[in-house]
Structure 1
Amino acid sequence: MPDITDKQFFTEDEALDFHRLPRPGKLAVQPTKPMATQRDLSLAYSPGVAVPVLAIAADEDLAYDYTSKGNMVAVISNGTAILGLGNLGAMASKPVMEGKSVLFKRFADVDSFDVEVQTTDPDEFITVVKNIGATWGGINLEDIKSPECFVIESQLQDLLDVPVFHDDQHGTAIISTAGLINAVEIAGKKLEDVKVVLVGAGAAGLSSIGLMKSIGVRAENTVIVDRDGVVYKGRDNVDQWKAAHATDTPHRTLAEAMVGADVVLGLAAKGAITKEMVASMAPRPIIFAMANPDPEITPEEVQSVRDDAIIATGRSDYANQVNNVLGFPYIFRGALDVRARQVNHEMKVACARALAALAREDVPDEVAIAYRGRKLKFGPDYIIPAPFDPRLIWYIPPFVAQAAMDTGVARKPIEDMEAYRVELRQRVDPSAALMQKISSAVRGEPNKRVVFAEGEEPQVIRAAYGFKQANLGTPILIGREELIRQNAHEAGLNFDELGIEITNAKVSDKNSLYTDWLYNRLQRRGYLRRDVQRMINQDRNYFGATMCALDDADAMVTGVTRNFNMALREVRRVLDVTDRMIGLSIVLAKGRTLFVADTSIHELPTADDLAEIAVKAANTVRKLGRVPRVAFLSYSTFGNPPGDRSEKVREAIRILDNMGVDFEYEGEMPPDLALDPAQRANYPFMRLSKDANVLVMPAIHSAAISTQLVQALGAATVIGPILVGLEKSVQIVPLGASVTEIITAATFAAYEESVVEAD
């Protein structure tokens, strides 16, 4: 089996467990109608189901109205070209096809099922899909090798009355074309003038060069190169699809073709493009090195010979990622919503031009937050929208749908496009993207140095490795180097290739400096110098926190081997609280993102505490890109029934009234009032304009119990509690935390430190 984890931040066992637990696979079916009564069952099945059966028998188009067909796509493969692994068979492709189905749902709320066809014969494959194809509103072909993929897609589109789209071809073509439109403008060139070289004449490459020609690139200005050299007119052993793009050219090698070229498209393999080739290109060259996981040439290599280049890759750790997820979910979303018969050329062009246009628009703060608060602007490092841009779902599909309507392939035209955009905004839950945004923001600043205090623990070592592999920052493991390396070796991790830092507190050359500093801080609190020396030598929390205090590190994560309160006490002896420290838990459930405070610090907060907790929580939520609306929760509703804790909540409201804060708040109230507009309608004096998203609990027990309960029931995903308010960012994970929990905490630690610096 090929080694596919050496460049990833997970082990093979973790990858297998992810797909196996808690239940096999990544997809499940959930009913959309109630199934609670005998009447429900009668309507769902016999005899009620006979009514839509007869209606569809009379008019098959009614299947869009009475079944899930209108929001359903099949992802179909025979496994002849699985990722970069080759022909491994239909069943081996199933995890990939399930993954594609998950992306459809995550990014565009398109339901999807995978279908694996056990044949490598194109005609047999076509027959199978033709006979079942009407089941779905669209078909996404995937991981089918070239040149068979061209024949299969073309014939199925002719045979079926639903969109058939081979994403391996057209996805890359659409995204790279969008990037080219913008790159050419930034470079001060024109599409009709640029000379384009394609390296790699497979399905994606040929589709890309074809789409680029259709938007203005001249055929005579293109050269395609396969593994045998330049594809020129008259060359032997060239199939019909390559021959269609052959040109009259004297060039016979890639190096010759690159001389004076304006654009090179890489869809080949690592090392296919050399620095010498890049140096020979025209001024302001455009280099799309899109091979994965390793591009044909890295941006660093390009920049070493050309400081005027515009660069895109297929990787997420560089600017301008050519990522198919920018295309296929939104193409099918638009196609399904107008019940299109096909995804035609005009719809692909519309998608490419829409993506290019979106990149030129002012980037909203919620996207900028994913780039550590840096305001993104159209230019050489931003020619393609970010995959997590929340505008994609409502921006791209309308252009695709309009093109379908304009070209006559839409069966159900959209009458009110603005209303359609509003509907699209509501389709995908933005809370699911929270960690992706935070990670992307941190990834944009990889020089953040994060201390992993319990560095000898196996899960901490693996988390640090994953943190580094994900380009989230520089981890510093505290512990004995020999033991850490031994545990890393046993986990199959090679630290040398990543340069992960290891610091042994006991023998560190900073030991004396840290002891002096901490003794100076604690000498009037009953600590002798020998006490402090022992703390620095033997307790990694003291050593790690002092590293942060003296700017030898930026942030810290701890808690795996000791309980929260013990870890917090140790950290607080080293670091000061800036204003108010709170624990903020993030609850992701049923389309909502809720922030719950305080879940870890204040056991029985006073009214003043509650007011300050609300202010701190609101400010933190704003830094996460959300508009805070605060509800003070209680068992009582505006004084009924009365009680001591509810009176403290009412007093907190009065304190905020006098403070004149810049966010909405209301209380005291039970959760249903905070989260249900119908309930709030009974209280005309209510000050919340929308549902609350920040819930301030009356005491720590109610906060902790409520968040732990919904998590235990599987009703929500809970992140945190995130510790906010220390002078340096420190996150404390639960005792015995998993690798994922540690990475999440470290990511928030790095993110919080970035936000503090930005302030």
Structure 2
Amino acid sequence: MIKITREDALAYHQQDGIPGKLAVVPTKPLLTQRDLSLAYTPGVAYPVLEIEKDPDLAYEYTNKGNLVAVISNGTAILGLGNRGALASKPVMEGKGVLFKKFAAIDTYDLEINALDPQQIIQIVAALAPTFGGINLEDIRSPECFQIEQTLQSMLDIPVFHDDQHGTAIILAAALLNTLELTNRRLDGVKIVFSGAGAAAIACATHLVKIGVPRQHIWMTDIVGLVYEGRKEQMFPEKQAFANGSRPASLTEVLQGADVFIGLSVANVLAPEMLKTMAANPIIFAMANPDPEISYDLAVAARPDAIVATGRSDYPNQINNVLGFPFIFRGALDVRARAINDSMKIAASHALAALARQPVPTEVLRAYNVDHLEFGRAYFVPKPLDLRVCEWEASAVAQAAIDSGAARLALNMPAYRARLQTLAEKGLSAPA
């Protein structure tokens, strides 16, 4: 287990006397007077005039096509809650580092000091021409739903709230594989959620889209079961998952369940509660930094369980870094207008399929293990597996093309080869 202290983290963020984790680096030479004239005046006037005539040429003459805005107002920072826009900046810079390292995507992080959804929408929409995509992050619910949906309806570039869809895409891949391992079907399982915020609702929505019947999903929050007729702490997106006709606790609802999905708070799941679940229960306890039940406690209470958490120091981490860099990579490369359901489903299936492949020696070396094989202790790919970029980004790009979301078509074999080279270069380069 890797232990990170406060002192370690603060020292890292100002290492070598350079505050923060990101910098802007020029991509063209600027060594001579001619270079200067090309980069700025008078040469810059020519692409300006071309883009005025044909806005799509911004993808050819500027960094728009490889640039994502990472945007937050700091109202739901990781497990820390509402800490304000400025306090979210280390997290947004961190997302930028992952975009760059895993998928060679450039980012600007934008911390918006506003709480009103309409104000945020106006600000982001006004800035949108700069970018090829927008990654919303750490914005509380229910405001996040309105912000994402309104922006996507206004803009012709992808708008993606990663706290919702990133988690959902990785979770779905994990669920597909654990159902295979336990000989279950998507339409034959009872799934219980602890948590009914943005991530939980997006996960439940995505599971319905991959084939789980909505009536098989039971959602609970701090009040208890989300049931038909409940009035307390409800909003439309949560109401869509109301099930049952009376109040009930998580303990009651969990009885006989096949799958537990935790997106709530630490330690809400007692070992005794697991004992009432069905045989071979699937337990995804994903609260961070501390899960709803610890990995060790869950395995001790139910030795027949398959267990995953959001932590990197235990097997089967449900990790968003397996999603957003590669989803945006595929979307940007076909100049997608949105990241639609077909693209999200394709990402889930690509990750699930990759986990069933033999694991290369380089991955074993990166994680200091002798063996990894598809099974109860390995059913989602590792983030440092170089193949993730090729498999997932190409699946997303193909789905964008097939669904009509793409502006460009690609030669897919050539594209997959390019992705493989990109991943090898990015993950082998010094940080």
TM-score where L is the length of structure 1: 0.55
| 1:337-736 alignment, distance < 5 Å | 337-414=333-410, 416-429=411-424, 432=427, 591=429
SS at 1:151 equivalent? helix
Identical aligned residues as a percent: 54
| 1:120-131 alignment, distance < 5 Å | 120-131=115-126
**Alpha-carbon deviations, 1:603-626, whole Å to 9, x = none?**
xxxxxxxxxxxxxxxxxxxxxxxx
Instruction: Measure the CA separation in 2 of the matches of 1:161 and 1:97.
Output: 23
Query: Is residue 90–residue 118 contact of structure 1 (8 Å, CA) maintained in 2?
Result: yes
Instruction: Show the counterpart of 1:31.
Output: 26
Aligned partner letter, 1:403: A
**Alpha-carbon deviations, 1:693-743, whole Å to 9, x = none?**
xxxxxxxxxxxxxxxxxxxxxxx79xxxxxxxxxxxxxxxxxxxxxxxxxx
Query: Is residue 386–residue 427 contact of structure 2 (8 Å, CA) maintained in 1?
Result: no
SS at 1:114 equivalent? strand
How many residues were matched structurally?
Answer: 428
| 1:61-210 alignment, distance < 5 Å | 61-210=56-205
Instruction: Measure the CA separation in 1 of the matches of 2:334 and 2:321.
Output: 21
| 1:205-354 alignment, distance < 5 Å | 205-237=200-232, 238-248=234-244, 252-354=248-350
**Alpha-carbon deviations, 1:203-259, whole Å to 9, x = none?**
101111111111111111110001000001111122111101111355611111111
SS at 1:427 equivalent? helix
SS at 2:353 equivalent? helix
Instruction: Measure the CA separation in 2 of the matches of 1:32 and 1:429.
Output: 20
Instruction: Measure the CA separation in 2 of the matches of 1:145 and 1:371.
Output: 34
Offset, 1:8: 4.1
SS at 1:118 equivalent? coil
Identify if the C-alpha distance between structure 1 residues 175 and 249 changes in structure 2 by more than 3 Å, giving closer, same or farther.
Answer: farther
Query: Is residue 228–residue 246 contact of structure 2 (8 Å, CA) maintained in 1?
Result: no
Aligned partner letter, 2:280: R
SS at 1:265 equivalent? strand
**Alpha-carbon deviations, 1:376-395, whole Å to 9, x = none?**
11111111001111111111
Identify if the C-alpha distance between structure 1 residues 223 and 327 changes in structure 2 by more than 3 Å, giving closer, same or farther.
Answer: same
Offset, 1:20: 2.6
**Alpha-carbon deviations, 1:19-66, whole Å to 9, x = none?**
234222211111111111111111111111111111000000100000
Q: CA RMSD in A?
A: 1.5
Identify if the C-alpha distance between structure 1 residues 25 and 373 changes in structure 2 by more than 3 Å, giving closer, same or farther.
Answer: closer
Instruction: Measure the CA separation in 2 of the matches of 1:34 and 1:159.
Output: 37
Instruction: Measure the CA separation in 2 of the matches of 1:406 and 1:200.
Output: 34
**Bigger shift: residues 15-24 or 261-270:** 15-24
Offset, 1:288: 0.2
Instruction: Measure the CA separation in 2 of the matches of 1:90 and 1:11.
Output: 21
Instruction: Measure the CA separation in 1 of the matches of 2:117 and 2:375.
Output: 44
Offset, 1:429: 4.6
Instruction: Show the counterpart of 1:672.
Output: none
| 1:46-65 alignment, distance < 5 Å | 46-65=41-60
**Alpha-carbon deviations, 1:542-598, whole Å to 9, x = none?**
xxxxxxxxxxxxxxxxxxxxxxxxxxxxxxxxxxxxxxxxxxxxxxxxx5xxxxxxx
**Alpha-carbon deviations, 1:636-681, whole Å to 9, x = none?**
xxxxxxxxxxxxxxxxxxxxxxxxxxxxxxxxxxxxxxxxxxxxxx
Instruction: Please say which structure displays the higher CA radius of gyration.
Output: 1
Instruction: Show the counterpart of 1:632.
Output: none
Show structure 2 runs of 5+ residues with no match.
none
Instruction: Measure the CA separation in 2 of the matches of 1:372 and 1:24.
Output: 31
Aligned partner letter, 2:120: F
Highest relative contact order (Cα 8 Å, sep 6+), 1 or 2? Answer: 2
**Alpha-carbon deviations, 1:426-450, whole Å to 9, x = none?**
22355745xxxxxxxxxxxxxxxxx
Query: Is residue 169–residue 205 contact of structure 1 (8 Å, CA) maintained in 2?
Result: yes
**Alpha-carbon deviations, 1:384-414, whole Å to 9, x = none?**
0011111111111000001111111101111
Instruction: Measure the CA separation in 2 of the matches of 1:30 and 1:372.
Output: 33
Instruction: Measure the CA separation in 2 of the matches of 1:304 and 1:432.
Output: 36
Instruction: Measure the CA separation in 2 of the matches of 1:323 and 1:430.
Output: 22
Query: Is residue 134–residue 160 contact of structure 1 (8 Å, CA) maintained in 2?
Result: no
**Alpha-carbon deviations, 1:321-366, whole Å to 9, x = none?**
0000000000000000000001111111111111001001111121
- Structure 1 residue 15 corresponds to structure 2 residue 9: yes
SS at 1:381 equivalent? coil
Aligned partner letter, 1:215: I
Query: Is residue 74–residue 139 contact of structure 1 (8 Å, CA) maintained in 2?
Result: yes
SS at 1:220 equivalent? helix
Aligned partner letter, 1:16: L
Aligned partner letter, 1:324: N
Offset, 1:372: 3.7
Q: Which has the higher strand share?
A: 1
Query: Is residue 130–residue 159 contact of structure 1 (8 Å, CA) maintained in 2?
Result: yes
Identify if the C-alpha distance between structure 1 residues 431 and 69 changes in structure 2 by more than 3 Å, giving closer, same or farther.
Answer: closer
Offset, 1:11: 3.3
Instruction: Measure the CA separation in 2 of the matches of 1:254 and 1:261.
Output: 11
Instruction: Measure the CA separation in 2 of the matches of 1:258 and 1:251.
Output: 14
Moved over 4 A (4+): 429-433
Instruction: Show the counterpart of 1:42.
Output: 37
Instruction: Measure the CA separation in 1 of the matches of 2:212 and 2:123.
Output: 38
Query: Is residue 75–residue 101 contact of structure 1 (8 Å, CA) maintained in 2?
Result: yes
Instruction: Measure the CA separation in 2 of the matches of 1:54 and 1:340.
Output: 24
Identify if the C-alpha distance between structure 1 residues 309 and 430 changes in structure 2 by more than 3 Å, giving closer, same or farther.
Answer: farther
Instruction: Measure the CA separation in 2 of the matches of 1:398 and 1:177.
Output: 18
Aligned partner letter, 2:85: A
Instruction: Measure the CA separation in 2 of the matches of 1:303 and 1:375.
Output: 21
Show structure 1 runs of 5+ residues with no match.
1-6, 434-590, 592-715, 718-759
